[in-house]
Amino acid sequence: MFFVKLVSYTQDGERVVAIASKMSRSRKGWEHHEKSMTDEEVDTWIEDAVLHGYWSPLEHSVYTFSVEGISRVASHQLVRHRVASYTQMSHRFAKPVDEYYDPVMPPSAEKRENVRKAYDEAYREVYKEYYSLLSQGVPEEDARYVLPNGVNTNIVITMNARELYNFFSLRLCSRAQWEIRKIAWSMLEEVKRVHPRLFKYAGPSCIIHENFIRNTPVTLDNLSVEQEFISQRCIEGVPRDGIVKCISNSKHF
């Protein structure tokens, strides 16, 4: 079962980011700012950092997710993000048998009965082969070679707010593969719930780059079809007129 949950994070992360940011410009110490910084100042320091690419203070707020029931297709892509920490369920030691075998069905299959049946069939047959190999004494670490790429796994991920901005810019994009995109949108929802001010400007790269070059920022929340982009194209090549529509599509799986 697909499941993305924020299981731990820097409780006062928004203040931590803002104080760290201010300390780069100030001669005073942490305790002074801790006591004196107002909520308005927190907003200002965060906005200033994100809209000008001063990313380093965002590294001091950190988030741990449990991401469960995803395929090894998705986990293989996830761990390519190197500025992050991962602990993954190992099929060398944890056999995906019985109720723990629950391979991922792509949405493109769910919608077409024939196709869905083909997946079901393929997944079921391969499971039999896997089980049979185990019965013949093949070690788990070898038997799993026949398991499908869609086989389910769990992974614990820790990323800081700066890396999350980068992760979101790449993986919320409609060009990202649907499963990692779905994970990214779920992670965004989780962090916006606890730190709405810190992730106010998070979005796919079209939004990030647009905000680096314009005077009035845009956010995912204030986008509408009337929004005029200055960018002639997004970094992936979508022309100006198609960007808002493309963002909207990226939320459908």
Interacting residues with a copy of itself between 127 and 186 (CB under 8 A):
129-130, 132-133, 136, 138-139, 141-142, 144-151, 154, 156, 158, 160, 177-178
> Which residues are CB-contacts of 208 (< 8 A; sequence separation ≥ 6)?
165, 169, 201
Nearer to a copy of itself, 103 or 203 (CB): 103
- Bridge partners (DSSP) listed for residue 71: 152
Nearer to a copy of itself, 230 or 251 (CB): 230
Nearer to a copy of itself, 224 or 232 (CB): 232
Q: Is 124 a catalytic residue?
A: no
User: 96: how many CB neighbours lie within 10 A of its CB?
Assistant: 19
Q: Which residue in 130, 132, 152 sits closest to 143, CA to CA?
A: 130
Site string for a copy of itself, 92-121 (x = CB under 8 A): xxxxx---x--xxxx-xx--x-xx--xx-x
Q: Is 137 left (phi over 0), alpha (psi -120 to 50) or beta?
A: left
Could you give the CA distance from residue 35 to residue 214 in angstroms, rounded to a whole number? 34
Annotated binding-site positions for FAD: 56, 80-82, 88, 160-162, 166
Q: Dihedral sign for Cα 98, 101, 106, 107, please.
A: positive
Does 52 engage in binding with a copy of itself (CB under 8 A)? Answer: yes
Does 72 engage in binding with a copy of itself (CB under 8 A)? Answer: yes
- One of 15, 72, 171, 181 is an active-site residue; which one? 171
Does 194 engage in binding with a copy of itself (CB under 8 A)? Answer: no
Minimum distance from residue 43 beta carbon to a copy of itself (Å) = 18
